[in-house]
């Protein structure tokens, strides 16, 4: 009997040990499952962080870039970012061969023209910062050939406050919304090795000033921008135009302010058509005295008007632009500046151009993987269209420009350019130029 009881007790003990082992095994399994679940959660978190980092360092998922709110395609990347940092940029370099000698003082040259970085930061869905830092001509040191050194400049730097499609606000160093290229000047998105003369001399791109204003879209077809900003400084106007009067945000005199607005219309009845115009008005004297003559600068109110049209239909592209400016008190300004009789600051400037382009790549190769776009452009520039009484117009600042060439796109954001420019000045002579260039945006 005692032996039987012992056997029973031993069996019970072994059963208890088995239960304990089974319980321990189940605890280990649960712990292992918990560890696997935690690892899976961490992998999901890391995957999301990598995706966010990919966005923040602007690694593109697609090759296409699109303009937004007046900026160029590469400059608009921050608007598509969910949060944080966005980086983009563009660059261009060229070789321009002066044909027929160097008699007009324009030697053949090779130039690392621009290297640009865009930095944007999206604080929230409604507040973001966007900027462009430009390095021109490769170095800020004095050129070995005696030419002017390059520069490092802030092309724009502004805060956007997004409220609703119809009304948003912008403040900072802003691009003046005039013409095609002052806002959208990335090299893959214009034709030719250099920017059109009209948009360099009549509309002085790249033109930026400190200001504040509104922008938005009214319905599906109207887009506008309107800013108040500091005016030009008329002391630096000359017979070549108003370009040197830009203050570019550099301790800008703001005794005189200016107003500018732009409206673009894309009618639904004609897909691919854009019609628009812009307007600028502001005094330029800045309550200053010319340091050489000691004469007070007049108010020098400057009016600029510009109208533009663009049409895109598949491979076909066409653009046209006309610009005109009027300067009040031009005679008094020339007296204050002691301008030479034959090199005055003009009462009125005007200019315009038209261009056509067509993508022949699909026609030649039967696909749209790349683009090959021959183009032609005709320009007229006159920075001396009307001058004050007692002064003589400098017709060397008047002329026709005939440009033709090819843009080749091995990638939508990379362009190789070839351009021939024939110049026909109003007086004197000027050599034709053959240019090749490269450009990119990202």
Whole-number pLDDT of residue 350? 97
399-412 pLDDT per residue, tens: 999 999 999 999 99
**Do 268 and 252 contact (CB within 8 A), yes or no?**
no
177-220 pLDDT per residue, tens: 999 999 999 999 999 999 999 999 999 999 999 999 999 999 99
**Do 243 and 201 contact (CB within 8 A), yes or no?**
yes
Mean pLDDT of 385-395: 96
d(CA 59, CA 112): 25
How far, CA to CA in Å, does 122 sit from each of 47, 65, 393? Answer: 21, 18, 50
- What is the rounded (10 degree) CA torsion for 219, 73, 114, 233? 10
Confidence label for 42 from pLDDT (cuts 50, 70 and 90): low
Average pLDDT of the chain, as a whole number: 90
pLDDT exceeds 70 at position 43: no
Confidence label for 431 from pLDDT (cuts 50, 70 and 90): confident
Please report, rounded to a whole number, the percentage of residues in the chain having pLDDT higher than 70: 85
**Do 425 and 398 contact (CB within 8 A), yes or no?**
yes
How far, CA to CA in Å, does 187 sit from each of 13, 19, 73, 85, 131? Answer: 86, 77, 11, 24, 18
Whole-number pLDDT of residue 14? 47
Please report, rounded to a whole number, the percentage of residues in the chain having pLDDT higher than 90: 78
Residues 6+ apart with CB under 8 A from 45: none
pLDDT exceeds 50 at position 9: no
pLDDT exceeds 90 at position 145: no
303-348 pLDDT per residue, tens: 999 999 999 999 999 999 999 999 999 999 999 999 999 999 999 9
Residues 6+ apart with CB under 8 A from 7: none
d(CA 319, CA 356): 7
Q: Which of 118, 92, 90 is nearest to 192 (CA)?
A: 92
Confidence label for 430 from pLDDT (cuts 50, 70 and 90): confident
The whole-model pTM stands at 0.85
Domain boundaries, the chain: 67-441
pLDDT exceeds 60 at position 63: no
337-359 pLDDT per residue, tens: 999 999 999 999 999 999 999 99
- Match 């430009």 to its residue by tokens: 134
- The CATH architecture to which 67-441 belongs is Beta Barrel (2.40)
Whole-number pLDDT of residue 60? 46
- Match 């019609």 to its residue by tokens: 275
What does the block give as tokens for 74? 């590469």
pLDDT exceeds 50 at position 58: no
Instruction: Tell whether omega for the bond before 206 is within 30 degrees of 0, i.e. cis.
Output: yes
Mean pLDDT of 20-47: 66
Residues 6+ apart with CB under 8 A from 294: none
Confidence label for 17 from pLDDT (cuts 50, 70 and 90): very low
Whole-number pLDDT of residue 316? 98
89-135 pLDDT per residue, tens: 999 999 999 987 655 567 889 999 999 999 999 999 999 999 999 99
**Do 107 and 149 contact (CB within 8 A), yes or no?**
no
Whole-number pLDDT of residue 197? 96
- Bridge-based pairing of strands 84-98 and 273-282 is unpaired
Whole-number pLDDT of residue 363? 94
Residues constituting the chain:
442
Query: What's the per-residue H, E or C state across the chain?
Result: CHHHHHHHHHHHHHHHHHHHHHHHHHHHHHHHHHHHHHHHHHHHHHHHHHHHHHHHCCCCCCCCCCCECCECCHHHHHHHCCCEEEEEEEEEEEEEEECCCCCCCCCCEEEEEEEEEEEEEECCCCEEEEEEEEEECCCCCCCCCCCCCCEEEEEEEEEEEEEECCEEEEEEEEECCCCCCCCCCCHHHCCCCCCCCHHHHCCCCCCEEEEEEEEEEECCCEEEEEEEEECCCHHHCECCECHHHCCCCCCCCCCCEEEEEEEEECCCCCCCEEEEEEEEEECCCCCCECCCCCCECCCCCEEEEEEEEEEEECCEEEEEEEEEEEECCHHHHHHHHCCCCCCCCCCEEEEEEEEEEECCHHHHHCCCCCEEEEEEEEEEEEEEEECCCCCCCCHHHEEEEEEEEEEEEEECCEEEEEEEEEEEECCCCCCCEEEEEEEEEC
Residues 6+ apart with CB under 8 A from 139: 149, 150
How far, CA to CA in Å, does 137 sit from each of 92, 142, 190, 433? Answer: 10, 11, 20, 19
Confidence label for 141 from pLDDT (cuts 50, 70 and 90): confident
Q: Which of 73, 116, 66 is nearest to 91 (CA)?
A: 116
d(CA 301, CA 327): 6
pLDDT exceeds 50 at position 83: yes
pLDDT exceeds 60 at position 56: no
């Amino acid at each position: 009997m005692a032996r039987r009881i012992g056997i029973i007790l031993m069996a019970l003990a072994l059963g208890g040990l088995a239960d304990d082992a089974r319980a321990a095994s189940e605890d280990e399994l649960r712990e292992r499952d918990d560890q696997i679940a935690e690892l899976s959660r961490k992998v999901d978190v890391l995957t999301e962080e990598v995706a966010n980092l990919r966005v923040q360092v602007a690694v593109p998922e697609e090759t296409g870039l699109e303009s937004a709110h007046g900026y160029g395609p590469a400059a608009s990347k921050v608007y598509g970012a969910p949060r944080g940092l966005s980086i983009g940029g563009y660059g261009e370099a060229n070789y321009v061969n002066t044909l027929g000698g160097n008699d007009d003082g324009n030697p053949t040259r090779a130039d690392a023209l621009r290297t640009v970085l865009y930095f944007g930061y999206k604080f929230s869905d409604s507040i973001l910062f966007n900027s462009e830092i430009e390095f021109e001509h490769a170095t800020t040191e004095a050129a070995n050939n005696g030419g002017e050194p390059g520069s490092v400049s802030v092309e724009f730097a502004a805060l956007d406050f997004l409220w609703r499609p119809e009304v948003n606000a912008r403040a900072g160093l802003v691009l003046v919304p005039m013409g095609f290229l002052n806002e959208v000047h990335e090299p893959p998105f214009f034709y030719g090795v250099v920017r059109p003369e009209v948009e360099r001399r009549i509309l002085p791109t790249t033109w930026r000033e400190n200001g504040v204003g509104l922008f938005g879209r009214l319905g599906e077809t109207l887009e506008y921008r309107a800013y108040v900003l500091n005016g030009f400084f008329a002391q630096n106007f000359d017979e070549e135009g108003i370009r040197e009067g830009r203050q570019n945000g550099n301790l800008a005199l703001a005794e005189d302010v200016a107003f500018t607005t732009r409206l673009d219309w894309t009618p639904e009845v004609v897909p691919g058509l854009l019609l628009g115009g812009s307007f600028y008005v502001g005094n330029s004297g800045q309550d200053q005295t010319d340091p050489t003559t000691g004469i007070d600068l007049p108010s020098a109110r400057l009016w600029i008007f510009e109208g533009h049209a663009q049409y895109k239909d598949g491979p076909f592209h066409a653009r046209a632009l006309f610009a005109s400016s009027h300067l009040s008190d031009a005679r008094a300004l020339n007296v204050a500046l002691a301008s030479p009789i034959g090199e005055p600051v003009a009462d009125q400037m005007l200019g315009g151009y038209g261009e056509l382009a067509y993508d022949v790549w699909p026609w030649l190769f039967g696909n749209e993987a790349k683009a090959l776009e021959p183009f032609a452009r005709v320009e007229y520039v006159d920075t001396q269209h009307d001058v004050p009484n007692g002064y003589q117009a400098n017709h060397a600042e008047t002329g026709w420009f005939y440009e033709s060439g090819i843009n080749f796109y091995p990638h939508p954001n990379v362009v190789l350019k070839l351009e021939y420019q024939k110049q026909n000045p109003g007086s004197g002579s000027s050599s034709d130029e053959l240019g090749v260039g490269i450009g990119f945006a990202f």
